Structures are given as C-alpha cells and as structure tokens.
Amino acid sequence: MITFDILTLFPEMLEGVINSSIIKRAIESGKIKVNLINFREFSKNKHQQVDDYAYGGGAGMLISVVPIYDALISIDGYQKAHKIITSPSGRTFNQKVAEELAEHDHIIIICGHYEGIDERIYHYVDDDISIGDYVLTGGEIPAMTILDAVARLVPDVIASDSIKNESFTMGLLEYPQYTRPAVFNDLAVPEVLLSGHHENIRKYQRYEALKKTYLKRPDLLEKAELSEEDLKMLAEIKGERWTKSKK
C-alpha cells in the first residue's frame, strides 16, 4: 500500500484521476491512498495569497516557500516520506523511475504553478522530477502522471502478467495486439495468433516487439537484455546475416 499526499493549489484538477477507473478501484480496495492538500489553506495572508513578485525582478509570480513548508510539516510521517517536487529541471520521469518510486510506502508530491516555487523549497525535498522537456502551467499533470504510473505497479492494482510484457518493462516496446473481429475492413489478425501454437505465438510476439523497438525506439535496444535468439531475429529484421556472438 502506498500513500500519496499531493500538495497543490488546484486539487480539482486531480479529482478526475482519483475518481475514475483503475486508480479509483485501487483507492477503494485500500491498495493506495491519495490525499489532496490545498496549500492555499496554509497561507497566513488575509487574502490567502500564496504567490509574490520575485526578488531581482522577472516576469510572473512565484509561489512562496512558507505555505508549502507549513502544509508539508502538517503531514503525518512527512520526515520519512519520499518528497518529490515537480519541475521542468528535474530528472526525467520514465518507467524505471516509476519502478523505483513504487518501492516507497509514502510519497509526497509538490505541484508548482505560475512561475514556479521559491528555490528554498529544495531544502525540504528528496527528489526533483520532470515529465519531459516542455513547460506546463503547473505540476498537477506531472503529479497525475507520477501517481498513475506508480499506482499501477502496486501489487494487484492490475494483473502482474500485463505489467511483465509491457513496453519498457521488458526493455523493449510491446508487440502489437489484436482482439475480435478476426477480420476488419480486409485487415486480418496475423494467422499465427489464431493457431493456438504457444511456441510460435511466443516467437512471433518477440520478433514483433524487437521489430517495433528497432523501427520506433532503436535507442532502447542498446540497453535491452537480448538473447541469442533475439540477436538472430534482430539481424533478420535489419536484413543482416546473423553470426553467433562470441562470449
């Protein structure tokens, strides 16, 4: 069970995610817990303002460290929790980072907004995560991304078999999949998948996963663990002649 505490000025943005589909079921069955904390409620300003002009000038408003810090220390067990700040300058989120985060039992995610947050917030966090090289209006979409990707790795949130074969989990992109009808607008499902021959199906799926990865994300092949059979298939995909690799 993982508890997520999400500090945000816009909790309503996250409500759709926690009240729908698999994440909703995971919460209802007690596999994860999600608390949305509006740190505006921790503002000591009489208008509950949380942002201010930046020292030294610059466009836009910056969120003060004070209400975020106060919200943070109000969370039970915050000292031991894994505290993440969302920011375009953080380490890039990917499946490996999601797997690493899924080892924690308490995760706190801080969502910035406007021009960002006073730099001193970094003294109180353990991790700095970006979801990609682009700038969003706030950390809520990154927080949803992290929550969703990590929650589905919690045991029994989804079938463990699905996770095993997925894109990135096995170091490759996932092979193409089909469901009924067997023929749609002259597009037929590959015959081997209807054959019931498990070994041929396994080989076909591995070949297709390698082919898709080679064509769409060749960079992944550099780090993937490849067997002799994989290398032979890859050589065929690339149109090369395969020679047994020397160990």
Ligand X SMILES: C[S@@+](CC[C@H](N)C(=O)[O-])C[C@H]1O[C@@H](n2cnc3c(N)ncnc32)[C@H](O)[C@@H]1O
**Residue 62 CB neighbours (<10 A):** 19
User: Of 169, 165, 133, 135, nearest to 149 (Cα)?
Assistant: 169
Residue 55 binds ligand X, judged by CB under 6 A: no
What are residue 86's DSSP bridge partners?
A: 129
Nearer to ligand X, 11 or 234 (CB): 11
Q: Which is nearer to ligand X, 128 or 230 (CB)?
A: 128
Among residues 104, 139, 146, 234, the one that binds ligand X under rule CB under 6 A: 139
Examine residue 132 and tell whether it contacts ligand X (CB under 6 A): yes
Q: How far is the CB of 224 from ligand X (least distance, A)?
A: 26
Q: Give residues with Cβ within 8 angstroms of 170, minimum separation 6.
A: 164, 209, 224
Pick between residue 54 and residue 221 the one whose CB is nearest to ligand X.
54
Task: Write the interaction track for ligand X spanning residues 111-130; mark x where CB under 6 A is met and - where it is not.
Answer: xxx-xxx------------x
Q: If binding is defined by CB under 6 A, does position 131 make contact with ligand X?
A: yes
Rule CB under 6 A: is residue 67 a binding residue for ligand X? no
- Cα separation, 176 vs 216, in Å, equals 13
| CA-wise closest residue to 137 among 164, 117, 112, 162 | 112
Least distance (Å) between residue 66 CB and ligand X: 16
Q: Considering the rule CB under 6 A, would residue 142 count as an interface residue with ligand X?
A: yes
Q: Treating both helix axes as pointing N-terminal to C-terminal, what angle do 21-28 and 140-151 enclose, rounded to 10 degrees?
A: 60
Is position 88 an interface residue for ligand X (rule: CB under 6 A)? yes
